[in-house]
Chains A and B, each alone.
Chain A
Amino acid sequence: MPNDTIIFASIFGGCALGALLATVLKGKAMRVAWAGFGCLASIAMLALGVGGVFAESARHIPLWTVPHVGPVSFSVDHLSGFFLIVTALVAIPAMIFAAATTSDEKARKTPLAPLSLVLLASVALVILAADVFLFIVAWEVMSILIYLLACGGPKERPGYLMLAVGETGTLAVLVALLLLGSHAGSLSFQAIQASSAGLSATLVEVVFALTFLGFGVKAGLIPLNFWLPEAYTAIPSPIMPFVAGATLNLGLYGIMRSNMYFLPTTFAGPGVCMLLVGAVTALIGILYATIADDFKTLLAHSSIENAGIITTAFGAGMIFLSAGHKAAAAMALIAALYHLLNHSIFKTLLFMGAGTLERSANTRSLDEMGGLLKRMPWTGLFVLVGALSISAMPPFNGFVSEWLTIESLLRSVELSSMGLKMVFVAAGAAIMLTAGLAVTCFVRAFAMSFLGISRSEKAANASETNRAALSTMAAVAVICFVLGVVPTFAIPALDRVVAPVAGASGSTALVPTFFHPDTDKLPKKFTAEFHDLGAQIGKDAIPARGMVVMHRGGKKNPVVFAMSTPYMFVMLVVLLAALVLIVRLATKNRKVSRRPRWDGGVRRFLPEMTYTATGFAQPVRVLFEAIFRPKVSDRRESIAQHFRMSIQRKREEIHLIDRLILYPLAKATKAVAAVFAKMHNGRINAYAVYALLALIIFLAIAAAL
């Protein structure tokens, strides 16, 4: 189709041309090429994605045949369409932001523009790839590009760490995909999908374990997520919003693709595994986010948390599916996809904010910020929107998806197996604790950077960023708001993605029976308003889709849950306005006197005396001491043993995963290496013996064969 040609030419040709131009051009022209071609490719992806989601069935586009490998092809189905849309929504503002905030000096040092444009193309390639060969190639290109970006910083460790862990994951994925391919007799995803029903239980378990581990690396799931905070702080901040918003998703894309399409959905095991791993990841992620001092590290840990929430919802969906609860499954999957979309959006926004803060205040440490709202009011507003969204506060998007997630976890009462119910209870408790801690975390992140007084010289001299960067942040903030107020527009689209897999529409199946269009107890005109998850109440008042998200429980708990974010938003506005009005009226005759702040009466009030970010997180540190297990060491200095001059306290927190998994592993490796090191004793006759032994063994084998 010519249509496809134009679109693919815009995506891949646009990125290539943009990368080329951005390498050649300098200054403003480079920025324009960067942003322009980035947007062009993203818009083409958006078009392709929308077409994919709303098409009836998957579309396969064969490309060419690679010798020794076979035909390679693209395909656009519902799932890849959805991920294309998410990537495009993130990429359009993120590319403009990147172009607007990269200084000329930085652009000269690292080729950010070409790298990021090629990264965008590789992300599209991963999503579009429809066979194992192309998928792995695209995946590797993407990994290497992120590695190159992470190496731009002053330290090499984050990049190497990421590459090492990432390659482990890729290997696991490759083995799993090849296993599937050999079973299907073809490397194309279409064939793998078609033969999924015939997989043996053992093979399903092995493939699930390998793909979950392998894709989990990119998604930031435990245990292989220790690279993520380091890499996220090392990647240059202009491009970080895109990396955070688009590439973490690919891990989740892999998990979803393999579990929804490649593996049969009749086993409960993978779902339980994802549910538990997701819940634990979420909890650990948010705990470390809450105590992080570096703003970007905080956001990285919070990405881990959100990946955990998405995986939990997805796992819940897979469990429901295996137990035959199609409607509940559809709802849980919708929750997972919606949260994924939302997380990409608000994490992009927050990383834009973090990058702006780093550029303006010249620090990433929350302890050194403070009082920035006065200097950067707009950035402050947008970061506030991001923080409210991520802490699941209405009227922003995080609220809707976390509400749906928790509701779908509650649907577990319908399951018949007691064991599964217990798993859901545990996961649900962890997710709710996570949601609570997320509020603490982002109250801290916003308050410690923007409120109070500046706690360092650098913060006191910060200034607002440029208009282009601000307008991209504004655009993303608006998306957060729109997705939070009118989710009833987004949910039917998501329903299209999950319905073929779940075998039921999450929308129609969840309308209460007494409102169901088929019922004849109520007038047809009335029940017509209730035909999907976004029930159409109020259609006459507002000429648009329904404004209420409602769904009911199954037979065992025929409760109807309903939530209407637009009405809630209207009520919030009305109540807030009323409050302001009442306060105004009540205090109309009041005399206001202004006095300096009460500082405890000290002679010289120092910024360090105010509440710091570290101090704010202390309660969480103390409460979860059993998890953090800090190493506290005191150093005392005294004169003549009796006169204490100073006590220095050092507190070191080693990440749980490092402590429990990595360090013992490293220790074991070193011990093994030490044994082998003994063989290298430097004596020439010993080496001669080794050579002789090797020769004998070889000859023996050759003789035996």
Chain B
Amino acid sequence: MVIIRIKGTVMIETLQKFSPAIVSHKMDLKLEAKTVNAFFGKTQALQNVSLSIEKNHVVAIIGPSGCGKSTFLRCLNRMHEVAGGTMNGTILLDGKDIHENDPVNLRRRVGMVFQKANPFPTMSIFDNVAAGLRLNGMAHNGHIAEIVERSLQQAALWNEVKDSLSKNGMSISGGQQQRLCIARALAVNPEVLLMDEPASALDPIPTAKIEELIYELKKDYTIIIVTHNMQQAARVSDETAFFYLGEIIEFDNTKKIFTAPSIKQTEDYVTGRFG
């Protein structure tokens, strides 16, 4: 693992000397995690995790249960500290350390969709999508209805709910609720979207809808998706990171991870021999 990281750094540095294109390419990094360690009290959940994510790419995070996938995701929008955890290391968003700024601003730029759909229970479908706008004081710009419609369309939910926007957000099906949560996250126009097993509780059809959606969203957002579903990771992502026991074992092009991984553990995992 250490070797990979060093190899990566060395490669980029060597290439930079020869090709200015790489330099500009590096400028397009949306998110960079550098030697991130995360803890819950004394338990260490992440160890020296380093990962670079390019703009408008979809990165899948895979690995067995408890390996730190959610923890990593929650470090990226500083939700880890909300749950009482601590971390060290550096995380850069557009080259700026996320710990130097207000977490509230960070979370407006880095949206999150949770494993279990969690629409606000006392709000209508419309109000759920508008919630972020209202919280962020963007309500007064008068386009709420427009933004709500656009977000619901992006989340491929508009046609199913357009006649019942005033119904409670909990009154729709699980898959629709999850897409509602995606719409809610999109409404505030984030730059990065973190998705923690967004389809794990869903049937194949809504799952397929969410995957199509990710494909669409890639044009405008940088997406990091945690999934237990290998086919899903293979279908939706550009790069895949394999986590094991709190460490990144391998991070590479998705095709490579699933067809010719360089590390035995990765191969065992993606072929279903363990985990």
A and B interact: no
Interface residues, chain B, CB within 8 Å of chain A?
Answer: none
Interface residues, chain A, CB within 8 Å of chain B?
Answer: none
